[in-house]
Amino acid sequence: MIYWDIFWAFFISNLLGYGGGPSTIPLIQNEVVSNYEWMSLSEFGDVLAIANALPGPIATKMAGFIGFELGGVLGAAVALIATILPSALAVIVLFKFVDLFKDSPRVKLMTKSVQPIIAVLLAVMAYQFFITAFQNSGVLHLLLLTLASYLTLYKFKVHPALVIGCALFYGGVFLS
């Protein structure tokens, strides 16, 4: 039952991702690429690239698109519900009791303790993308594009959509 699988994949990745949408990316990748093998890592990379180039929350764009690819509109709806509904309900219900655990050291330590895992998962993904780029386009292009990304995104804070647009253009001209 594909819809059940879609629901479960996105439910699990969002239940375990602390720190907002971006922290769920490696968990979504783990389900979609490694666990269910719905797409290859490079396809997942394309989805992530376009999601990054467009505005708005990333986790819902990923869920909506992957759900749509797998099961049409219903698939997208199932993926979105699994992504949004549990935590949306939780925030509405728990807000009444917010004072009970807002400053609770338990909750704070729990949130903190997950960060190393997310960091490692993201770093491993980054490594995989660099390796793929190295194998497909060689070390020269890899270094050039990575350096350009560092300068534009990190140093000069250029708009990510612009950087991705330029990288697509560069690839279309020099790597085809």
Partner 1 sequence: MRSLFTKLGRQSGYKERAIRLGTYRDLAVGFARTGVTGYGGGPSTIPLIEYEAVEKYKWVSEEEFGEILALANTLPGPIATKMAAYIGYKVKGSIGAVVAILTHILPSLVAMIGLLGFIYSFRHSPIVSGMVQGVTPVIGFMLAEMAYRFFEKGRKGLGVSRMLLFSIISLVFTEMLGLHPGILIGAFLISAFFIAARKEKAAASKKVIMQRKENSL
Residues of this chain, 70-89, that bind partner 1 according to CB under 8 A: 76, 80, 83-84, 86-89
Sole binder of partner 1 in the list 16, 39, 74, 158 (CB under 8 A): 16
CB closer to partner 1, 15 vs 74: 15
Contact 24, 18 (CB under 8 A): no
Q: How far apart are the first and last CA of the chain?
A: 39
Closest contact distance (angstroms) between CB of 158 and partner 1 is 11
How many residues of this chain interact with partner 1, rule: CB under 8 A?
A: 106
Nearest distance from C-beta of residue 1 to partner 1, angstroms: 21
Residue found by looking up tokens 């020269």 in the block: 140
3-class SS of residue 97 = helix
Contact characters 94-113, partner 1, x per CB under 8 A: xx--x--xx-xxxxxxxxxx
The residue among 74 and 153 lying less far from partner 1, judged by its C-beta, is 153
How wide is the angle at C-alpha 56 spanned by C-alphas 50 and 61, nearest 5°? 55
DSSP letter, residue 39: S
**Euclidean distance between CA atoms 53 and 47, whole angstroms:** 10
Contact between 149 and partner 1 per CB under 8 A: yes
CB of 77 to partner 1, least distance (A): 11
CB of 91 to partner 1, least distance (A): 4
| Cα–Cα dist 139/148, whole Å | 14
Site string for partner 1, 43-62 (x = CB under 8 A): --xxxxxxxx-xxxxxxxx-
For residues 17 to 46, the per-residue mask of contacts with partner 1, x marking binding by CB under 8 A and - elsewhere, is xxxxxxxxxxx--x----x------x--xx
CA distances, 148 to each of 50, 51, 66, 144, 175 (Å)? 19, 20, 29, 6, 16
